[in-house]
Structure 1
Amino acid sequence: MSGLYPVSGSKLYIGSRVTAKGTVTLPDFASQVWTEVGGWANAGAIGDTQEVGEQALINEKRVRKFKTTLNGGTMENQFVPMALDPGQVKFKEAIEACQPYAFKIEWGADCAPESEVTISVATPGVVTWTGHGFVAGQPVVFSTTGALPTGLTAGTVYYVVSSGLTADAFSVAATPGGTAVDTTAAGNGTHTAVAPPPGMTDMFYGLALPGARQGGAAATAHLRNWSIAVDSNILEV
């Protein structure tokens, strides 16, 4: 059923330490190298809420309300303890740091179409993916066993552009509706493209917070609580 994405199969990634800022844009995440945090057992809620101010007015005999600040909240998660998992190791490092880290959540990640592709060296570069079914604005992420053609970066979110879009080929831009990327030198290896569902990837800056280990009865799985205090706006890609 279209439009329904399970929490199962979603992935949480941690990037590098960043300089705190309240408003982030896609270029702020362009150079991130993402590490998946393994053992993710329970995902907390995430999203802005807004504080509301109030003022009583004598003449109206009514309390009037006005919008004030936004709060990304704190995402409370549970993980299976995995001491050697690279993502959990990095999360522990983030807990010890005072600065925020970059985070990315791919909701319904295992529902994303994926295919080996070829990428031409051209102005702009053309990605060949037979029967892709995309429309302009579709997010696309590339990975490779070698090196992507110059102009493209593995792990970066790109967007299908309308110009040159056919049933089996497309070009991409760094921003929705932006200028298509030129490729200037051939890469090597096998290239793979993944198309995450539009609007189902969240990227933000956050503070990694420690938490208690979960207790329970003998048949209870041992979990640990780690939260992320969102310290910026949340980009929905």
Structure 2
Amino acid sequence: MSKLVITDLHVTVETEDGPKEILKGVTLTINEGETHAIMGPNGSGKSTLAYSIAGHPKYTITSGSVTLDGQDVLALSVDERARAGLFLAMQYPVEVPGVSVSNFLRTAKTAIDGEAPKLRTWVKDVNGALERLNLDPSFGTRSVNEGFSGGEKKRHEIAQLELLDPKVAVLDETDSGLDIDALKIVSDGVNRFRQREGKGVLLITHYTRILRYIEPDFVHVFVDGRVAESGGKELADQLEAEGYDKYLKAVQA
């Protein structure tokens, strides 16, 4: 059973003027089998939530808690969080020159599982994952994200998701920069992951278009570092029609 529980999370980041609070008390529970979509305007703290869960050193958690199956996530190092079952697909995947995709994936899988996958089986698994994401098998010999198109970077992230098989996937604007074909391929990959037993997904996005392919169980409106409203998939349709104005005005009032 997988359960990610975020309770009253407050997070600051250092600025030229000193610490600035970005998250101002976020509470959210993702049970296994659930997909939660977080939507909100730029600067509302969506990515800060993702990176804070993953353990990015830029962000300081001042209060609150994050647990995965009862385990204190915030007490774990970044690699321990991955081994515990957390996965982050980044909005802007970084390049790793000199490290091939195949070596990167096998090293990551070994670190998470505690033992190296059997080579013959692993090669078959990697080639299968790449093929399903419409990536040529020769892709495995290229350096991680170096010279990749935006769509290739995002498809590679979902190949990682498929192969590393975490408990909870945090997807930070996985749809940004994708054309319609790449969006469908990425969405299919996420949906394959969702169909596995005991999985949870936290999907961060600006737009409703990806939610046409990945149907959320819950939608949360994120404004000014807080969850302003929660609802079902119909809330995304409301946001598409009306935007975030009423939430922004409430914050400014």
Range of TM-score over shorter length: under 0.3
TM-score by length of 1: 0.26
**Structure with the bigger percentage of strand:** 1
**Structure with the bigger percentage of helix:** 2
